[in-house]
Structure 1
Amino acid sequence: MAVKEQRGLSKKRKRGGGSTGGRGRGEKPSDPKKQKYIPSGSSKSPQAKGFKKSAPNSKPKPSQAKDSKRAPPKFGKSDASVGDKAEVLSKRDSRLVAKELAEARKKKRKLHYTLQQELALLWEKMRRRNIAKDDRSKVVSEALRKMAGKIAEIASSHVSSRVLQTCIKYCSQAEREAVFLELQPHLLALSRNVYGVHLVKKMLDSATKKQLDGFISSLHGKVASLLRHMVGSVVIEHVFQLGNASQKQSLLSELYSAELQLFRDLTLSNGGRLLDIISKLGLQKSSVLQHMSSVIQPILEKGIVDHSIIHTVLIEYLTIADKSSAVDVIRQLSSSLLVRMIHTKDGSKLGILCVKHGDAKERKKIIKGIKEHVGKVAQDQYGSLVLTCILSVVDDTKLLTKVIIRELQKILKELIFDKTGRRPILQLLHPQCPRYLSPDDLASLSLSVPSLCSKGKESEEVDTGSGEHAETPENPEDDSENNLQLAEGGGKKDDALRRYQLLVDSGLAESLIVTCTECAGELLRSNFGREVIYEVVTGGIDGVLRQKFPNQLDDLQGAIASLGALPKMEEPEHHVFENFHSSRTIRKLIMDCPAFAASLWEVALKGKAATWAQGHSAKVVSAFLESPDAKVRDLAKSELQGLVESGALKIPKGKDSKAED
């Protein structure tokens, strides 16, 4: 029992400090030379603040020892018991002190920090909308005066770059030229800077012809390296858009051959297509191909594919590429890159070539890549051509219905009123119609890669002719994983069957008829929508809609006839017979659709033809006598013959014979 008590006593003595000077278990004796920080706000501190030297044999109180182990020192407001002994800053004063310290650090770190602060204040004044023109000019001149001689040093700063852009926008021509002269030796360096690039673009926008030509000359030999740079490529694209044909050619020629990159005289004296340059200068095709591959591959690997200059280079590359090189490029582009390229003219050509020559796997990637952007692509001037090509070539109609047709149905009304949005729909109703596609559009849709055409001999350039494609590959037996032959430019499925599945089986045709019936008046008066309703009423080029939906088309024709039966209005443009667009569309329907002509005559014109014998509506009435269908002419002959003889209704020359029949 006594032994236990001694053990407990010794334990207690050990924890309490005893002769160890108050140190806890596992702690070393305190060093008298060390200084201990006592927080100013602590109620346990015998002093208000500062450092205190510990006495060698001083014994801290047990409560003090426990507190030092239990909680870290507290900063901030002191207890009321301390009162005036503690000097404590308020939150506001602490923030001010921290701000002053940060400002001091920035001044040491940034050479022109004070100047930038002054410029920021001036910038707030000059960019206001309600400032007078003279006052803004004074502020701009003051800012430029402060920056004189230091523009090159501060142009890459986020704040100073924006100030300079505003100054360039509002300053005088003399001031602008002075800034350009000071920055001219540093423009290439600024072109690679994430903030300076915006200033370079702004200066190029306002540059004179001489200044622009000088900047393009300074780019000689550096175009390829800048195109590989994420920021520098933006400047090359901007210059490419601003330059004339000769300047564009000088930028492109550097990317074609090492000789053209080294010798500027060759670039200036020779232009045109890549094949023409090769033949004029006698360049080796293999050498050009190798150089272009070294330029293109890093750009594709980095994903810098948004610029039109790159699209042009890729199109030219495919004109001379061998089968292996062409396949590699098409496979690289057939991923998520392609959707970022089809917004330009040459980019849409690349998209068409990838769709035509890609195999089923590549086409599936392309379709899935545009899945989230179908609406935007359909309404884009060039992207709509790629979508048109997809609907005309790809055989997987289930995938097309799921990814593309469903998205088109969601915005169907918006599309049929849009100039480019209606293209995919018109392509299904009337494929390759020259009324809806320009010669350039038709040429783009008929493009092909020479080395991937399977007609035994490779042509010298991309085919832009009739668009005929070969039916069998060069090496049909080569079906291995490394097969270099892709698709032949078209699908294996019958065109009529593919079109029927996409238009009718998908439900698009039914939605289209319903929308046209509901918006018949708007569509007839619309410059673009009238062509869609014309194709729907006539049932498509081969009458495919008439075979499947005869009753719905009769309802649509009745809706148009009922609009014609309305009396004349105070504003002639509101009536479908007197509106410029609708009157011509109805006339065309009378000529091409006898069923519609009969319905319209019975509902709207029988006994009322004299009312509509003048103005735009006269074209509608005279169409009954000009119709190639004898039954339609017989319907109106008795009533209209008298109007013709009296001179109330005029028939165009060359049509009188039909009226007399």
Structure 2
Amino acid sequence: MAEKSKESKESKKRKRPLGPNNSEADNKVPKKPKTPPPTTKDPKKPFNSNKPKPFKSSNLKKSETAKTKKKRKRHYTLEQELGKLWEKMRRHNIANDERSKLVSEALQKMKGKISEIAGSHVSSRTCVKHTSQAKRDAVYEELHPHFLMLANNTYAVHLVKKMLDTASKMQLADFISTLHGHVARLLCSKVGSVVIEHVYQLGNASQKGKLLIELYSTELRLFKDLVSMKESRLVDIIPKLGLQQASVVRYMSSVIQPILEKDIVDHSILHRALLEFFSIADRTSAAEVIQKLSGPLLVRVIGTKNGSKIGILCVKHGSAKERKKIIKGMKGLVGNIVHDQYGSLVLVCILSTVDDTKLVTKEIIRELITDMKKLVLDKCGRRVLLQLLHPNHPHYFTPDDQASLNLCIPSFKAGSEVYFDVDMQNATSDADKLGDKEPCNDEEGTEHETRGNIRQDENLPVVGGKKDPSLRRRELLLESGLAESLVTTCIENAAELLESKFGKEILYEVATGGEGGILNPTLNDKIEELHGAIASLAALPKSDEASKEHVLENFHSSRTIRRLVLDCLAFASTFWKLALEGRCEKWAHGHSCKVVNAFLESSDFRTRELAKGELPPLLHQGFLKMPRDKGR
């Protein structure tokens, strides 16, 4: 059987005769071309490989669908015509007469339909900018009944803003009256809030008060005529009208919370409302708002005057966890904040309040060091450095700045650092027991005490930090490496800083070692090098160029050097040896005379001794004047 099966298999194999070359290659059977698999799973449908199906991209289908929908619009043709007119009238090289004709034509086409087509991105590009006041008034009257609807439209809002910019005083007052009862609702909308902020910026004090009142209380919103605009502060309005403060706080919380949840925090009207809210809020309500603002959201708030005050209050009264969120939210943005007029005050508050100096060094100080030269020459940026060199000096911070830095929420003032446990009623009155102390470390690395059942808690917001200010200042200035970088920058740019209106103050504080001589023990050699750099500049001869002033004749540098001679013996000694010794007669004229005369005015006997050999003759000749008994 096995042999038969083998024979049957061999018989099935058919051999082709060899080709003319008698090679096996000629004996191979040619392969048939492979047919591609059918693209459809349905066997009933015939497959045609020669005619592929027409392919249409999804984007092409979407565009065709969009065009079809646009054509179904009621005013589609009109919008297309207005778009063509706008492209002509918006050109800069068009004549005024021709533009006026185009504007008139466009307004004629839109008449009676402006409110309907204003929501289109094509027709919302208004031409009221190039028309007469009479035609603007006509457009205003047509839009007046529809302002609230248009204020919520993404494209129509631009038309509303332009109408407000060109509106008369009567029209602006009329528009504000239209908003009555809708201010809070519009502020909760990202589009509508833009209109409210625009009106708030255009309005006078009385009109701003009318807008703010709607955020305070239902009674004030309903009976706004009873409120005198002389009382601009909410704490003055409440007792005058006999309102319940708790009711006002609840109403304002219900208005403010939805706005904060939607991250609509960029508007100055909200900043003013928040500031008024903090002035009357209880501790719990205020803490909830501070918790909402903690983090990157606060960076968007601190750009205005009232916003910076809110930032300062959040830093002062926030818990350690919330302060950490605030500082981390500034990561990568410190360079922009420090050069802002109001944002820099918040950084000053952080450096004066937050006890976690390692976190402040990591997130803030390191960013400040990266561009130190720009910082010391900037009007606002230098204040952060001056706060560490000489804290709260009135010469560097205006009364308004100091008032902002000293702000506190009233509900946090009394007893804000301690609170009572629930079981305090079981506490004994024994003075010895109350005197027991249990030291423990909080999140910011500081130590607080527990006295019986009256204790401090790291999660409870407190006014300011608990660390010793001098220790915090030393850690931020010296241990962070900021001071070394600052002194090096002053040495390398001594000439520019001396003649700078703002840089000279940084140079003076560094050269004197800061308040209390905080820089001297650690950086004494560097400070002496800075003294030598300033004296070397003064020792240079006068330049032949009339435009280039000598440092002793420049208005800013001569006065800075005079202050250094009067207040720093080490500088006075170096400066006398390198720059003035044997040259006093040469510099006893003009602005440089003030520097020479400073050696006579100094209250330090050793400074006066340096120049006792050269200055008396100049004094007798009338080049110098005897100092008077008055403040410098």
The residue aligned with 1:634 is 609
- Please give the residue correspondences for 1:248-259 in structure 2 after superposition, counting only pairs within 5 Å: 248-259=208-219
- Please give the residue correspondences for 1:212-611 in structure 2 after superposition, counting only pairs within 5 Å: 212-267=172-227, 271-455=231-415, 477=454, 486-569=460-543, 570-571=545-546, 574-611=549-586
Which shifted more, 98-107 or 407-416?
98-107
Amino acid at match of 1:141: S
Distance 2:529 2:350 in 1: 32
| Superposed CA offset, 1:121-176 (max 9, x none) | 222232223334444333333332332222211111112112x1xx2222222222
8 Å CA contact 2:600, 2:627 repeated in 1? no
Distance 1:384 1:287 in 2: 36
Per the TM alignment, residue 258 of structure 1 is displaced from its structure 2 partner at its CA by: 0.6
Amino acid at match of 1:284: Q
Residue 501 to residue 100, structure 1, CA distance change in 2 (3 Å): closer
8 Å CA contact 2:213, 2:224 repeated in 1? no
8 Å CA contact 1:523, 1:530 repeated in 2? yes
Per the TM alignment, residue 474 of structure 1 is displaced from its structure 2 partner at its CA by: 12
- Please give the residue correspondences for 1:57-206 in structure 2 after superposition, counting only pairs within 5 Å: 65=46, 67-68=47-48, 73-75=52-54, 105=68, 108-162=71-125, 164=126, 167-206=127-166
Residue 396 to residue 101, structure 1, CA distance change in 2 (3 Å): closer
Distance 2:193 2:383 in 1: 33
Per the TM alignment, residue 571 of structure 1 is displaced from its structure 2 partner at its CA by: 2.6
Residue 225 to residue 99, structure 1, CA distance change in 2 (3 Å): closer
8 Å CA contact 2:249, 2:280 repeated in 1? yes
Per the TM alignment, residue 115 of structure 1 is displaced from its structure 2 partner at its CA by: 2.1
The residue aligned with 1:646 is 621
Distance 1:455 1:104 in 2: 67
Distance 2:484 2:217 in 1: 55
8 Å CA contact 1:454, 1:474 repeated in 2? no
Which shifted more, 98-107 or 528-537?
98-107
The residue aligned with 2:24 is none
Amino acid at match of 2:612: K
Amino acid at match of 2:577: E
Residue 475 to residue 613, structure 1, CA distance change in 2 (3 Å): farther
- Please give the residue correspondences for 1:31-70 in structure 2 after superposition, counting only pairs within 5 Å: 65=46, 67-68=47-48
Residue 152 to residue 475, structure 1, CA distance change in 2 (3 Å): farther
Per the TM alignment, residue 565 of structure 1 is displaced from its structure 2 partner at its CA by: 0.9
The residue aligned with 1:39 is none
Which structure is higher in helix share?
A: 1
Distance 2:66 2:187 in 1: 39
Per the TM alignment, residue 655 of structure 1 is displaced from its structure 2 partner at its CA by: 7.2
Residue 106 to residue 588, structure 1, CA distance change in 2 (3 Å): same
8 Å CA contact 2:618, 2:624 repeated in 1? yes
Per the TM alignment, residue 456 of structure 1 is displaced from its structure 2 partner at its CA by: 8.2
Q: Which one scores higher on RCO, CA 8 angstroms, separation ≥ 6?
A: 2
In structure 2, runs of 5+ residues without a counterpart are 1-39, 419-447
8 Å CA contact 1:583, 1:620 repeated in 2? yes
Distance 1:140 1:116 in 2: 14
Per the TM alignment, residue 653 of structure 1 is displaced from its structure 2 partner at its CA by: 4.8
Distance 1:550 1:238 in 2: 54
Residue 604 to residue 130, structure 1, CA distance change in 2 (3 Å): farther
Distance 1:144 1:472 in 2: 75
What SS class does the counterpart of residue 519 from structure 2 fall into? helix
| Superposed CA offset, 1:614-655 (max 9, x none) | 222222121111111122122223322222322233456547
> Aligned residues: percent identity?
60
8 Å CA contact 1:151, 1:182 repeated in 2? yes
RMSD: 3.0
Distance 2:526 2:64 in 1: 78
Residue 582 to residue 392, structure 1, CA distance change in 2 (3 Å): same
Residue 586 to residue 134, structure 1, CA distance change in 2 (3 Å): farther
Which shifted more, 381-390 or 623-632?
623-632
Matched residues, number:
561
Residue 128 to residue 215, structure 1, CA distance change in 2 (3 Å): same
Distance 2:449 2:248 in 1: 30
8 Å CA contact 1:473, 1:488 repeated in 2? no
Distance 2:261 2:525 in 1: 55
Per the TM alignment, residue 270 of structure 1 is displaced from its structure 2 partner at its CA by: 6.1
In structure 1, runs of 5+ residues without a counterpart are 1-23, 31-64, 77-90, 459-470
Amino acid at match of 2:79: Q
